[in-house]
């Protein structure tokens, strides 16, 4: 599958500030998944978005899937030091079940 573009590559924030990472694809996606990888750790599944315009929340995390199913975002409200890590989106294109990972956004939270 075509790799989805993810920005920014790095983001430094002060604890308590908000954070957003974006994924954009040139093609219409079937689904999009989000994973978090802590430093030295392995990717951990956060959520999967399937429907056009879908918005899902997990505590301080808000996930959105664009109306055209070509983009997605992850927003963290009031970051904490426990949010540190790399957040990957993974696209699933039509007819496939294999996710293709974006480059990831590394979040650094300064206390």
Partner 1 sequence: DAMVIQNPRYQVTQFGKPVTLSCSQTLNHNVMYWYQQKSSQAPKLLFHYYDKDFNNEADTPDNFQSRRPNTSFCFLDIRSPGLGDAAMYLCATSRQIGQGTSYEQYFGPGTRLTVT
Q: Report the interface residues with partner 1, using CB under 8 A.
A: 3, 30-31, 33, 35, 41-45, 48, 88, 92, 95-104, 106
CB of 16 to partner 1, least distance (A): 26
Return the SS3 of 81. helix
CB of 27 to partner 1, least distance (A): 15
Residue 52 Rama label (left phi>0; alpha psi -120 to 50; beta): beta
C-alpha 89/C-alpha 11 separation (Å) is 16
Tokens describing residue 97: 């079940």
Q: Which is nearer to partner 1, 42 or 59 (CB)?
A: 42
Q: Which is nearer to partner 1, 3 or 27 (CB)?
A: 3
Whether 25 and 2 have beta carbons less than 8 Å apart is answered as yes
Q: Which is nearer to partner 1, 15 or 30 (CB)?
A: 30
Q: Which is nearer to partner 1, 49 or 76 (CB)?
A: 49
C-alpha 48/C-alpha 58 separation (Å) is 12
CB of 83 to partner 1, least distance (A): 18
CB of 96 to partner 1, least distance (A): 8
């Amino acid at each position: 599958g075509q790799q989805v573009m993810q920005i920014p590559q790095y983001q430094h924030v002060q604890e308590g500030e908000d954070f957003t990472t974006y994924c954009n694809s040139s093609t219409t996606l079937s689904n999009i998944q989000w994973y978090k990888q802590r430093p030295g750790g392995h990717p951990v599944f956060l959520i999967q978005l399937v429907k056009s315009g879908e918005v899902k929340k997990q505590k301080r995390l808000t996930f959105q899937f664009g109306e055209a199913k070509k983009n997605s975002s992850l927003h963290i409200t009031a970051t904490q030091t426990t949010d540190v890590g790399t957040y990957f989106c993974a696209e699933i294109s039509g007819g496939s079940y294999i996710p293709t990972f974006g480059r990831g956004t590394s979040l650094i939270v300064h206390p």
